[in-house]
Amino acid sequence: MNTLIIYDSLYGNTELLARAIGEAVTGDLEVARVGDINLSGLGSFGLVIVGSPTQGGRPTQAMQEYLNRLPSLGGAKVAAFDTRLTNRWVRVFGFAADKIAASLAARDGTLVAEAEGFFVKRKRGPLAKGELERAKAWTRGILETLES
């Protein structure tokens, strides 16, 4: 399957996850930072996975602007992830992955997995222990679902 992973990363943690997700993908793969991918080429991918750090309960400004410019995805298979803190008060504002998933669905994307959050220890990271492996497992689960 031809897969595109689009991410934004402020401190490198979301980029590490995007690349780990890519390692679990079989078939053609492109991993790109949000500002480096052309909107018109999205239709050529069988699966589009989008991720961002959670900032104030939302994706980064760059990711929000990108999502706001997305054309119709025409039923393309999509999934969303984020990086987030584990603090209880953070849950009050919500998480980026849920908002990314909603944006993708609103543009006729077909969600193939629940939005997923991966944990960082502090605002700048590092990722919590085991999160890279968990990201790979999440991705393998998506691919298995699509193959069945």
Strands (E), the chain: 3-7, 29-33, 47-53, 77-84, 110-111, 116-119
Domain boundaries, the chain: 3-139
Chain mean pLDDT for the chain: 93
pLDDT band at 30 (very low <50, low <70, confident <90, very high): very high
User: Is 3-139 in CATH node 3.40.50.360?
Assistant: yes
Instruction: Report DSSP letters for 48-67, one per residue.
Output: EEEEEE-BTTB--HHHHHHH
How many CB atoms are closer than 10 A to CB 137?
Answer: 12
Q: pLDDT for 87-131, tens place per residue?
A: 765 666 789 999 999 999 999 999 999 999 999 999 899 999 999
Residue for token pair 């908002």: 99
Cα separation, 12 vs 4, in Å, equals 19
Task: Give the global pTM.
Answer: 0.96
